[in-house]
A and B are shown apart, each in its own frame.
Chain A
């Protein structure tokens, strides 16, 4: 983890962080924003293109009705007002991955505006105010060829694939967020996490940060404690995991403080986040080249959603997250701490899905917050990005409940599934992890245990059942952990009873 000369904690003794978060959500519509091309992720290059999304001379855009519907539902779920009349606007700038050299977006007339969401972080509620949510289109992808790094610098030339060009995006912009400095990174993370959960609940986006269908930009500035003067902000682009959102805030707070402490001034610029060490590096300075010359898109008619339609869409909204949490907590019998830990680990949906797949709530929580959270932490990723599904977790738990696995064996099954060795069943078979409950093999081992530890045998005969643990431990060792502990206990009691 890269460190700044001024630590995050030290910076907070002198400065108040002020954040702004811009999140881009790629919609999961079947077709693009303005044309009928498909939107499959990972298709062969330039196989999902047409005259419209390639920006060929003469082609014209037509708005995807599903994208409008999704934009309104997102706006409503963010407690926004929905515009009664709004237009698309052209944002004019040149970039090779943008076929028309303008992005069709919205400017001063967003479809949704003035909303809020309430986040719970460490048991405390934080209200994040939403400035706007507007519709726009994604760009193509460039591949930089040559040079040593494969990155943009040092490349000989670039190769362009326009499959992504024109995929509908919703950009969600917060107002400035000022929370107690020590909470800022967690609040930023919780906000992005909240949006992800919301998009999934609305079924409007895959919201996969690892695939870029949910991308966060973190704007940050510092102001001296007690001052009302906002500092100059940096804009850290495309931070691609929840954890990275938190790290980016921490890093930028330290970096800004270091510059300000030294009497320097912050340059308004975009910055890149580096996953490897949690640092950011300078991107492009903001300049008058950012004169985007917005004007209303003449090729598209204004959007004027019928209020009755908006109300119909409101009725399709999923349960608000706060209500849902209350309901789940009651259903699962979790105490406040259990619930907070579950949410904090970004595992609420995972636990819910695991319970839905048949596991007991406590068991689901145990695995997601224990074994799996540890693994995610080691891998530097989010628990939701692990290569295991809630259904698989429930399947493993079912094997435990059926006595086919014990916890120790189950951990090995998790390792195998996460390593891509196959389904839980396949891992159990391939690794030979099944619990032995065959009485013949177990009985012989129990006999050896009785013979080996007369003291424990005496205690059991004296009525101290807990002493059976020593004998069970012996048997487990003999059986390399694959014995059915319950059956072993029964056999011991039978033999000594």
Chain B
């Protein structure tokens, strides 16, 4: 039997459609792969073999009955543990929600199910999606399949590592400041943050409501487009969901033509602080694009300089409010304060929030509480929201001149576990290139463009709001150019893991 875990989702969909394989077979192979390698990777917090196989059998039955099925029907998917799943634990990587089983499905999850996609399990993440290394998970870090002594990025390190380790062909991530794209870059996978409002946030446990967006995590650009079309579209349960048509992302990924495409290189992103190896791969990619007919121009976005600072005010402010609901009253961890006889609800809340949240979460809650507090609001939160306007204006000006913007996704390749854990600011700097898109609500894609010191490097394209299709066109074109140059798809470079028996 061939190893189905090495196929792309598009290839799996084709072989399902032609009857060469079944969803049960595909799903079983991925479950086996998880059992074999996840001990080293820790990409999954929960695996659901029974649920996944039952869904696979159901879609096989429907296919056999000749029913009209969605393009990815039968292709299994892993879901970041920040999306609510009926009957499956949803912990957000936190002790606070250990054992919490939601009574409802996130809209994205409901759409995966409606498309007949078996859900393999829930993937590891930095607690409540706060971090760039997945080391802030309360359930142990995820390891990078390229080098298991290194971090897989974050917060969605679990989804990225699961896909890179062939434990899942597809995964769902969420991106608030780069949590899909930066893990994509450091694990050599493709990750897309759609236009804000393009994918429903209903059932996505909020970190920062005005920044969060769920998106696809895959090994190829076409796979990302296929998954994007399943996830995206208007949802009446999310007031910030856009009523517009989903951009034609699959068609764009198949077109993959950059002739005449104007690509803007962001002056402010890619210089100081970016490793030479990262810059080299980025520059080579631009040359490939230019040779294929793209017009490369430099574009300045001066306010991006302040994006990180604005982000670390807006995000924690929203965090401080969004995470207030975790108070031990209706669900989640309840802890009584030590040494207090007959404690009050107030004391139990405070003790539970101390015990249930990790350091990074508490740091951001306190920071956000400060930024919103009386007397500081205008100076911090208010000023940050104005910087946001300036960043959006920079994007607007840039997209008046170019079709897409490009930058390295992350300043560095994957670093050793623990290296930045005690230096929050160094960790925050990882998001310097990804954050502007979240602040302005525009879409971005990261795709692998080569190796530096044997570790993957990512390139990011950004497009105007609802121009997600441009990302897929440019991304798929670059992916093809790189494959042609190297004579092999990037995923074939992923090192083999030891397989547990």
Q: A residues engaging B (CB < 8 A)?
A: 51, 54-63, 90, 92, 94, 96, 99-102, 158, 160, 288, 291, 293-295, 298-301
Contacts and interface: CB of A to CB of B under 8 A. Distances in A.
A63 B239 contact: yes
B63 to A, nearest CB: 31
B369 A160 contact: no
A55 B237 contact: no
Given A57-B90, A62-B236, A63-B239, A96 B329 contact: yes
Given A63-B239, A90-B321, 8 more contacts: A51-B84, A57-B84, A57-B92, A58-B104, A94-B346, A298-B210, A298-B240, A298-B318
A299 to B, nearest CB: 5
Contact of A60 (B102, B237, B369): B237
Task: Pick from B103, B205, B239, B346 the residue with the most CB of A within 10 Å.
Answer: B239
27 contacts: A51-B103, A51-B104, A55-B330, A57-B84, A57-B97, A57-B100, A57-B102, A57-B331, A58-B102, A59-B203, A62-B236, A62-B237, A62-B238, A92-B324, A94-B346, A96-B349, A100-B325, A101-B327, A102-B321, A158-B345, A291-B374, A293-B321, A293-B374, A295-B321, A295-B372, A299-B239, A301-B240
Nearest to B128: A57
Nearest to B235: A60
A371 B329 CA distance: 50
B325 A57 contact: yes
Interface of B: 83-84, 90, 92, 97, 100, 102-104, 106, 201-206, 208-210, 236-240, 317-318, 320-321, 324-327, 329-331, 345-346, 349, 369, 372-374, 377, 381
Given A58-B102, A58-B205, A92-B321, A295 B377 contact: yes
A56 B102 contact: yes
Which 8 A-B pairs have CB atoms at the shortest separation, nearest pair first? A101-B324, A293-B372, A298-B210, A298-B209, A58-B203, A57-B205, A58-B84, A58-B205
A347 B239 CA distance: 44
Nearest to B105: A58
A253 B393 CA distance: 56
Contacts of A295: 317-318, 321, 372, 377, 381
B239 A300 contact: yes
A214 B320 CA distance: 32
Contacts of A59: 104, 202-203
Contacts, number: 103
Question: At the interface, is chain A mostly helix, strand, loop or mixed?
Answer: loop
A395 B474 CA distance: 81
Contacts of B369: 293
B336 to A, nearest CB: 13
A293 B380 CA distance: 12
A101 B372 contact: no
Given A58-B84, A58-B106, A58-B205, A100 B331 contact: no
Nearest to B328: A96
A293 B373 contact: yes
B239 A60 contact: yes
A94 B330 contact: no
Contacts of B205: 57-58
Nearest to A288: B374
Contacts of B240: 298-299, 301
Nearest to A293: B372
A462 B107 CA distance: 96
Most chain A C-beta atoms within 10 Å of own C-beta, residue among B329, B346, B349: B329
B374 to A, nearest CB: 5
Contacts of A92: 320-321, 324, 372
A148 B381 CA distance: 47
A370 to B, nearest CB: 50
A164 to B, nearest CB: 15
Q: Which of B204, B209, B330, B346 has the most CB of A within 10 A?
A: B330
A94 B106 CA distance: 26
A58 B238 CA distance: 10
B376 to A, nearest CB: 10
A58 B330 contact: no
Contacts of B346: 94
A100 B324 contact: yes
B239 A62 contact: yes
Contacts of B201: 60
Contacts of A58: 83-84, 90, 102, 104, 106, 202-206
A60 B100 CA distance: 18
A291 B321 CA distance: 13
A57 B89 CA distance: 12
A99 B102 contact: no
Contacts of B209: 298-299
A412 B325 CA distance: 56
Contacts of B208: 298
Nearest to B374: A291
Contact of A101 (B97, B325, B374): B325
Contacts of A294: 372
A94 B344 CA distance: 13
Nearest to B90: A57
Contact of A61 (B92, B239, B324): B239
A94 B346 CA distance: 8
From A57, A94, A294, residue with most partner B Cβ within 10 Å: A57
Contacts of A288: 374
Nearest to B212: A298
B321 A96 contact: no
A291 B204 contact: no
A90 B377 CA distance: 14
